[in-house]
Structure 1
Amino acid sequence: MSTSVTTTCRDLDELLPSAQTACRLLFQECYKAGIKNIFITETYRSQERQKYLYAQGRSRPGQIVTWTLNSNHKSRLAWDIAVGPPQSLYDVTTLNRVGAIAKKLGIEWGGTWSNAIDRPHFEVKSNWVMPKGYKLEGKINVPTNSKGQVQLIVEDKKEEIKVTNWNPGSPAMKTETENFIAQAVKDEIILESHLKDLQNGTMTTDRLIGLYITIQQRRSK
């Protein structure tokens, strides 16, 4: 990735896989805690950009924004965040809450540094692994500007019914199935037409499974 030293990279995919996962997990847990107005301000940072930022407030006009030339941003293991409206950009209360969550996840937070507190900064080691008891529960929307909101998108999982040992060509299976359907007809749970369709070979497997579920549900009432 080649960019100008004045360009900020906010692309989560520019981080190493372990950092990507850690960042998504942090945003997920923040969402679950009701913190939805945080967003990424920087991920990967080249060494050239690090030198450029380090010069600010020293050999170049402006306020000091970094205290090191050796940042984990250039190692693709760190990211910075900010806070969206209605709070201020670096609202201490919100960042402290995010920092407390990060600590539980084994993510290092710049807010705990004694030499130079950096509350918007988070990073992990290259061997970071997800703590026991946690998992990514869906797709995490990680905003990159103050207009976005953190989202957790969980896809509905349709219950799958797996039929094992089903062999339509087996005479024993065919006889057992016919007896099952015939008994359901006799019990007036389903119509006799279903049995006739099974006997003449027009009964599909999906339909048969549906009938089985219906019969079992009605018998359990």
Structure 2
Amino acid sequence: MTSVTTTCRDLAELTPAAQTACRLLFQECFKAGIYNIFITETYRSQERQKYLYAQGRTRPGQIVTWTLNSNHKSRLAWDIAVGPPQSLYDVTTLNRVGAIARKLGITWGGDWVGSIDRPHFEVKASWKMPKGYVLGKVIVPSNSKMQVQLIVEDKKEEIKVAQNTNWNPGSPAMKTETENYVAKAVKDGIIQASHLKDLQNGTMTTDRLIGLYITIQQRRTTK
């Protein structure tokens, strides 16, 4: 069981809709010239939410959350921060990201009245990508040492898959290789074992599989 003091930055722990929304936000930030933002938290258990809520109240420290009912626990929210040369929560940068989020139908904590939370972003479970946008392969950093990247491939080699459709390998060999790849990531402690089980029982979606691949590559690069 994960400790309440441990922050989860795994994008694959979000719902498929939230994963897509987050990657689309980072992609559009990249296009706007914002490269130095990164994920600081995705999924948060209720136990961790209670732990954070106690900070500044029954536990020493500054208040960091205003609620016990966060969409982080519903796997629909994520927090970001800003890398060098700006400060960790640079208002100008976060305001720019917030403006992009609005256009994408993503809720930004900076728009909240009273309890403003600029690093926070979330979507409803019914969120869908707005018309006119196409999601490419974007690298979403989980630390300040990396920058947002958009991978542009040769169109001749590009493979288009429908988002949120179940993964359907073209051959038994491909399935075996993919399972071995994910199994190694589980063994290395990069992702949770539940992802491998979903892959094996056929409930893994192509969108989620791509998200897992990006997460695994990113974690191994930073080790």
Q: Alignment RMSD, CA only? A: 1.2
1:98 corresponds to 2:112: no
1:77 corresponds to 2:70: no
Instruction: Classify the secondary structure of the residue corresponding to 2:156.
Output: coil
Q: 1:80 to 1:156 in 2, by over 3 A?
A: same
TM-score (norm 1): 0.70
Aligned 1:53-64 pairs, distance under 5 A: 53-64=52-63
Find the aligned partners of 1:153 and 1:99 in 2 and give their Cα distance: 23
Q: Aligned pairs, how many?
A: 158
Aligned 1:84-163 pairs, distance under 5 A: 84-136=83-135, 138-158=136-156
Find the aligned partners of 2:143 and 2:102 in 1 and give their Cα distance: 24
Deviation sequence 1:143-162 (CA, Å, 0-9, x none): 000000000001111289xx
Percent of aligned pairs with the same residue? 87
Find the aligned partners of 1:130 and 1:158 in 2 and give their Cα distance: 25
Find the aligned partners of 1:123 and 1:109 in 2 and give their Cα distance: 7
Find the aligned partners of 1:118 and 1:99 in 2 and give their Cα distance: 11
Give the unaligned 5+ runs of structure 1: 161-221
**Higher Cα Rg, which structure:** 1
Find the aligned partners of 1:81 and 1:57 in 2 and give their Cα distance: 22
Find the aligned partners of 2:157 and 2:118 in 1 and give their Cα distance: 44
Find the aligned partners of 1:14 and 1:158 in 2 and give their Cα distance: 32
Find the aligned partners of 2:78 and 2:119 in 1 and give their Cα distance: 8
Bigger relative contact order, structure 1 or 2 (CA pairs below 8 A, ≥6 apart): 2
Find the aligned partners of 2:157 and 2:21 in 1 and give their Cα distance: 30
Deviating 4+ runs (over 6 angstroms): none
Instruction: Classify the secondary structure of the residue corresponding to 1:158.
Output: helix
Deviation sequence 1:6-26 (CA, Å, 0-9, x none): 000000000000000000000
Instruction: Classify the secondary structure of the residue corresponding to 1:131.
Output: coil
Give the unaligned 5+ runs of structure 2: 159-223
Find the aligned partners of 1:159 and 1:153 in 2 and give their Cα distance: 13
Find the aligned partners of 1:26 and 1:85 in 2 and give their Cα distance: 20
User: 1:65 corresponds to which residue?
Assistant: 64
Q: 1:159 to 1:151 in 2, by over 3 A?
A: closer
Instruction: Classify the secondary structure of the residue corresponding to 1:122.
Output: strand
Find the aligned partners of 2:57 and 2:117 in 1 and give their Cα distance: 18
Find the aligned partners of 2:157 and 2:64 in 1 and give their Cα distance: 52
